[in-house]
Structure formats: C-alpha cells, structure tokens
Amino acid sequence: MKTCYLCKNEFDGVSVKKHDEHIIQNSIGGKLTASDILCEKCGGCLGKHIDEKFTSRTLCLSVLLDLARDRGESAKSRINVSLNEDSSLNDDNINFEIKSDFSIIPSKPVYILDDKNKVVTVFGANAKQIKQYRKGKTIQNLINDGYVVNESENVADYVKSAELDINYESPELLRGILKIAIGFAALKGIPDKYLNPLTKSSKLIECDKSISKIIWQYYPTTDEEKIYETSKNEHEDWYPNHQIYLFNINNNLYCYVEIFGVIQKYVHLSDSYNDKNILEKYLQKTTKWDFKKEDWMPRRLQDWHMLAHQFDVPYDLGNFEQMQKKILQRARSRSYDIEPESQIEKVNAIMQNLILYTFSNIKGHDLIDQLHAKAKDAQVKFNFELVNKIKENPMTVMNLMNKDYSDFRIGNVNNNCPIKSKSYSRIDKDKYVSYKSFELLTNINLENKIEFRVLGE
C-alpha cells in the first residue's frame, strides 16, 4: 500500500487523500508530477513552508525567462540599480523591480528633472499610478513653472548598471532542492527507510543549518564535464533546462538537481543504501520551444522521413501535404520533456569531435574552430586537460575514442564526482555560479545590461 512520504500514513481516499505533486516546483515551470508520494495535507504544508520561499529565492531567474507568462500570470523581481550621473531622482529611498519584459519600475512614483530643457519625467509602476502622482502639488508647480511632463513606466533608459541578487546557498533554496530530490526518489521507488532521516517535517521545514552538509554545489571535475559546462547555452539545444539524476555509488545514494541551467546541486540522500543499483534521470526544457517554420522544412526526402519518425507521423509520400502538416503541428507543440540520453549523446559528440579534430589537427572551418575555442576557454576556466593529453601522447586517442560517457556527472567508486565537487573552495564555487549566471544572461542577450551579484550564504 502506498504511503505519504512525510506523514507515513496510507492513502485511503478519505482522511488521507492523494495529492498531485510537482516534483520540480510548478512556479519555476516544473512539468513532472506524481500523485502517490504526498497526501493533500502534507502537500499543502510543504507548498506553504518550502515551495513559496523557494520560489521567492529563484524569482529573479523566473522573471528573466518570463515563466509566469506560460501560466497567464505576470511577475517581477527586486533589482539593484545605479542611475546615470546626469539622472537624479527626487527620492533616494526607492526600490526597483524588473519585469519579464525587462522594464524596470520604481516601488513608488518618482521623477527626474532636466532643468536645462525644462522637462520633468515621472516614473511609476503603471499609467494609473503616474497620472495620480502628476496631479500632486509638486508636479503641478513644475508645470506652472513651464516644465513639460513626460510619463514612463520604465526607468531602464536612465540606468547605468543593474544587479540581481542570487543566493545559491540560502536555506530556503536548499530546502527546495532537497524537496525535489526526495520527491524524485520517492517517485522512482526508493524505499522509505533510506529517506526517513530526511523526511521529518522539522528537517524539511525549519531553518536547519545541517542541510548544507548534505547538499553542496556542483563543480565540473572531469574533462567531459568541463567542456560541456563551457558556454553550454551554445550547444545545449534545450537550454535553459531543469534536470534530475538519481544514482548510487556503492552505499551512497545521491541526487543531482539542476535548475534553469544555473543552480546545480548534489544531494546526499543516504550513506547506507544497500538496495539495487539505481540510475534514473529526468530532463525538461524550462521555456517553450522557439518555433520557426523554415527550420522544419527540409529539402531532402530522407530528412522528411527522419522527422516523420521523430514525431510518430506515418511516412506517406502519396499524401505529402497532410504528412507535412502533421509534422509541423507536432514540431510547434513539442513537449517540454527531453529524452535524458540526449544529453549523453551531446557529451559524446562534443568529446569525439574534439578528439578527432585535435588528433588530426583539423582547423579552418567555423564549427571546428568554435569547438577549439571552447576547449581553450574550458582550459582557462576549469583546467580542461584533454587537448594537452592528446598532444603529449597521441596514443591516448585509442582509449578515448571508445570511452562511454554514461557516468556523466556521476563517476564511479574511484572517481566519485559528488565527492570531488565537494572539495572545491568557496571562491571557486562563487566564480562558477557567477559564470553560470552570466551564461543565462548571454542566452537572453542581457549580458551588457544586467549583472548577477552572487551570494554564497
């Protein structure tokens, strides 16, 4: 009989009802659900005490990616701004928020004076607020003195620099990550006895500093991780994404959780796991797919055949237009879910191509040169050693070409990726999270407009 992992009561449909639970929080676009791991009461409790606070800690990322739009909502996040030297607000005690359209609004109406041109620009969160404010005595006096009034719901044009805070070690964030890991483990059938120490209400809800002992920052430790994590927004077709790996290395049960391609954590669920070996993965795109019809209109019949197979559409040249229509419909409405092995295939392709191009000294083609540049960048950022290994001993290529990357981000008994990640310094981890944050800004073309201020506690 199935039980709620928190209260341990059996579901009976009366006093203990099943709860439709998002494994990755719905507020950040999580799509994976389970109906038999939490009861309604416990689901509501964790939603209030964990999910709401977790959502507030990740709000800046959700706003930048406009996730609220997918649910017919709107959202904004606090942002720190410095105005241009010639732009002085009438009130310095103002907070600002950034909206999903990247406009920046003040917490209350304010204005900037341009005495030279006799212009006063009034800012507010919306048109109604601005119109109400300009009726006040201050603005009316300026109008009487000959000032022209401009109205704006966006301070961005007057901003010299803007910073979003991201705290990747806050207890609220870590508890949300732990809830994801426990939920996924429960969904995949991990026996309660391995999760019980973590599923006491106090452990999940209260501000327990010991949580940082079982959750720590991911850091790329192998060559394949180092090259993959270098500008991964350029080669990861599903970027940004959420993903979960559940695995064991001997008696240690781990969960790797990635949110938005920025927050990456290892969770140590148990050090006494002695059940069957487990490797379960989940991968989803965070935002909707960009659909461009021209990208799905190949010239060759064999490519149409591949698309038909990909989208489970009967390949029928006798009714080509109807087949084409179905393929385009399914391409337009592609699922957020990604086949997890797609990532391993991507890792393998990057590594094998780089090995081949390095060994053969092939250069002079755009895609090849881009991969060589990525390798140099990875060497600077993460001490990526593959290229030097091949140059020093070309015979290593024989072993590398046959390497299996199914243990990506996992490792093995002799090369435990979670444990190796844990050994990196706080400075290294701060730099890494800053880099991942910059990667996200680059992906949405905001790297020259906004910065992330990374906080580690």
Q: What is the 3-state secondary structure (H, E, C) of 245-259?
A: EEEEECCEEEEEEEE
Query: What proportion of the chain, given as a percentage, has pLDDT over 70?
Result: 95
pLDDT class for 326, splitting at 50, 70, 90? confident
- Final residue of a domain: which of 131, 148, 165? 165
**Between residues 421 and 394, which one has the greater pLDDT?**
421
Q: What is the pLDDT of residue 267?
A: 97
Q: What is the pLDDT of residue 327?
A: 82
Give me 1's structure tokens: 């009989």
Of the candidate ranges 74-78, 103-107, 268-272, the one whose mean pLDDT is the lowest? 74-78
Q: Residue 314 sits in which domain range?
A: 293-335
Q: 163-183 pLDDT, tens per residue? A: 999 899 999 999 999 999 999
CA distance linking residue 364 with residue 377, whole number of Å? 18
- Final residue of a domain: which of 165, 187, 213? 165
pLDDT class for 333, splitting at 50, 70, 90? low
Q: What is the pLDDT of residue 396?
A: 85
Q: What is the pLDDT of residue 119?
A: 92
Q: 400-452 pLDDT, tens per residue? A: 888 999 999 999 999 999 999 999 999 999 999 999 999 999 999 998 888 89
CA distance linking residue 338 with residue 349, whole number of Å? 17
CA torsion sign for 423, 424, 429, 430 is positive
Q: Does residue 69 register a pLDDT over 60?
A: no
Cβ atoms of residues 96 and 155 within 8 Å: yes
219: which residues sit within 8 A by CB, 6+ positions away? Answer: 420, 421, 424, 428, 429, 432
Domain presence at residue 20:
no
Q: Does residue 109 register a pLDDT over 90?
A: yes
Q: What is the pLDDT of residue 68?
A: 60
Domain presence at residue 133:
yes
Location of structure tokens 């964790």: 46
CA distance linking residue 206 with residue 86, whole number of Å? 47
> What φ, ψ does residue 107 adopt, rounded to 5°?
-70, -20
**Between residues 42 and 325, which one has the greater pLDDT?**
42
Q: What is the pLDDT of residue 278?
A: 98
Q: What is the mean pLDDT of residues 338-346?
A: 94
Domain presence at residue 358:
no
Q: Does residue 70 register a pLDDT over 90?
A: no
Q: What is the mean pLDDT of residues 314-324?
A: 84
Q: What is the mean pLDDT of residues 44-71?
A: 86
User: What pTM, to 2 d.p., does this model score?
Assistant: 0.87
CA distance linking residue 378 with residue 226, whole number of Å? 6
CA distance linking residue 372 with residue 230, whole number of Å? 12
Give me 109's structure tokens: 């109406």
Q: What is the pLDDT of residue 439?
A: 96
Of the candidate ranges 196-210, 243-257, 261-275, 290-304, the one whose mean pLDDT is the lowest? 196-210
Domain presence at residue 453:
no
Please choose, from the candidates 20, 22, 4, 24, the residue with its C-alpha nearest in 3D space to the C-alpha of residue 265.
24
Domain presence at residue 300:
yes
Considering its fold, how many domains does the chain have in total? 2
CA distance linking residue 37 with residue 16, whole number of Å? 12
Domain presence at residue 61:
no
Q: What is the rounded average pLDDT for all residues in the chain?
A: 90
Residue at 45: amino acid letter: C
What long-range pairs does 83-89 form, CB within 8 A, spacing at least 24? 83/155, 83/158, 83/159, 83/160, 84/158, 84/159, 84/160, 85/160, 87/112, 87/158, 88/112, 88/113
**Between residues 77 and 75, which one has the greater pLDDT?**
77
- Final residue of a domain: which of 165, 182, 208? 165
pLDDT class for 203, splitting at 50, 70, 90? low
Cβ atoms of residues 181 and 217 within 8 Å: no
Domain presence at residue 316:
yes
CA distance linking residue 340 with residue 332, whole number of Å? 21
DSSP annotation of 410 reads: T
> What φ, ψ does residue 344 adopt, rounded to 5°?
-65, -40
Domain presence at residue 210:
no
Q: What is the mean pLDDT of residues 206-214?
A: 79
